[in-house]
Amino acid sequence: MPFNTELTRALGIKVPVVQGGMQWVGYAELASAVSNAGGLGILTALTQPTPEDLRKEIRRCRTMTSSPFGVNLTLLPALVPPDYAAYAQVIIDEGIRIVETAGNSPGPVIKQLKAAGTTILHKCTTIRHAQSAVKLGVDFLSIDGFECAGHVGETDITNFILLSRARQTLGIPFIASGGFADGQGLAAALALGACGINMGTRFMCTVEAPIHANIKQAIVAAQETDTELVLRRWKNTSRLFKNKVSLKAVEVEKSSTTGKFEEVAEYVSGKRGRQVFLNGDKDFGVWTAGQVIGLIHDVPTCEALVKRIETEAVDALRQNQALWVGESGQVPVSETGTVGKNTNNPQAEIWGVGKSKL
């Protein structure tokens, strides 16, 4: 019983669940497994050292799935920035039709991709940035609440407010990102006007995720309080897993009398974080994780996880619809799906649990 939302229709997927791009995690093994399960798997472009390596990874992923998959291209400040245009050109040349973008000054890359007819999902942590992205011509917005892993922005707005603001103010469809791990979350996102969800941390904790089993077990054992906000002082706030290194980074950040980034740089090294996923030592370096770790209690296959989310979401939508019976005592039949016409998702329904059955 596949879903029928603007996201599933546009991307050709069965379940409105996107596996977000994750550095050192978004390889072909995971992306293909998510796509095979009916969601949208995403390769992370900058996990590959060169554009040509990305080309090889795209081709490798194609040998593992015949379903749609996308590529994430994140633009972040760097002393020597990657050749983003070259990465984008490989994406175009290889016929990838779906790209998740994020980061600073994405205009030139978005223009390059849109000229080739690419569908763009752009990730934002504020409504102001989302409105700017709309002007750039993106097709979908991925609204990233404060609960999320990695770069959380500087406004600290959680998804309950952020998604409703998106519904009220944005003129294009959006998906919900940050804090999602199950079908109840998907149902809630749809009720708030989103047309799907994006999950990162939850997909890290699957059989196919190419990270050490010890890290998956660390996520399972963690609670929602086991994250740290690092680099607030430099307005580059990131949510990381709470471990010895992230705690030390926070200590140095708060106690520094100079405010020089160099004092904390060794603790937030991406190279050390990369090794965590390889050697399985959760305290070897910093690594990103969202507050959703408190909702993760197992390590399923991607197929089992996506199917579970689908079933849970359908059950939640049915149960919620039954809570209101109207003055006649009859369950009402919606004319426009589960949300109103001004919510960017006016025809939301589910095949098998559509208008005639809700």
Q: Write the pLDDT tens digit of every residue in 92-123.
A: 999 999 999 999 889 999 999 999 999 999 99
Cross-sheet strand order for the sheet of 150-151:
150-151, 238-241, 227-230
pLDDT score at 334:
54
pLDDT of residue 77: 78
The pLDDT score that the predictor gives to residue 324 is 87
Q: Please, which pLDDT band fits residue 339 given cuts at 50, 70 and 90?
A: very low
Pairing of β 238-241 and β 150-151: antiparallel
pLDDT of residue 332: 61
Q: Which of 189, 108, 111, 118 is nearest to 147 (CA)?
A: 189
Confidence grade of residue 348 (pLDDT, cut at 50, 70, 90) = very low
Q: Which two tokens stand for residue 17?
A: 């669940």
Please determine, for residue 180, whether its predicted confidence score (pLDDT) is greater than 70.
Answer: yes
Judged by phi (left if over 0) then psi (alpha if -120 to 50, else beta), residue 114 lies in alpha
d(Cα 212, Cα 218) in Å, to the nearest integer?
A: 10
If one compares 353 and 329, the residue with the highest pLDDT of the two is 329
pLDDT of residue 333: 60
Question: What tokens does 7 get?
Answer: 């996201």
Instruction: Grade residue 2 by pLDDT with cuts at 50, 70 and 90.
Output: confident
Q: What is the spatial distance between Cα 245 and Cα 284, in angstroms, rounded to a whole number?
A: 7
Backbone Cα Rg of the chain: 20
Residue 338 pLDDT greater than 50, yes or no: no
Tokens of 239: 């949510």
Residue 14 and residue 3 in contact, taking contact as beta carbons nearer than 8 Å:
yes
Residue 270 pLDDT:
86
Could you read off the pLDDT of 270-326 as tens digits, one per residue? Answer: 889 999 999 999 999 999 999 999 999 999 999 999 999 999 999 999 999 899 888
- The Cα–Cα gap between 39 and 180 comes to 14
> What confidence score (pLDDT) does residue 104 get?
87
Let me know if domain 3-211+298-310 sits in CATH 3.20.20.70.
yes
| Domains of the chain by residue range | 3-211+298-310, 227-288
pLDDT surpasses 60 at 130: yes
The C-alpha atoms of residue 189 and residue 44 are separated, in whole angstroms, by: 25
Give the C-alpha distances (Å, rounded to integers) separating 268 from 232, 249, 271, 347.
Answer: 13, 7, 9, 45
Q: Please write the tens of the pLDDT for every residue from 23-52.
A: 999 999 999 999 999 999 999 999 999 999
- Distant-in-sequence, close-in-space partners of 144: CB < 8 Å, separation ≥ 6: 123, 124, 125, 152, 153, 177, 178, 198
Question: Minimal CA–CA distance to 251: which of 236, 233, 235, 269?
Answer: 233
- What's the whole-number average pLDDT of the chain? 92
What's this model's pTM, rounded to 2 decimal places? 0.90
Predicted pLDDT of residue 355: 39
CB atoms within 10 A of CB 49: 9
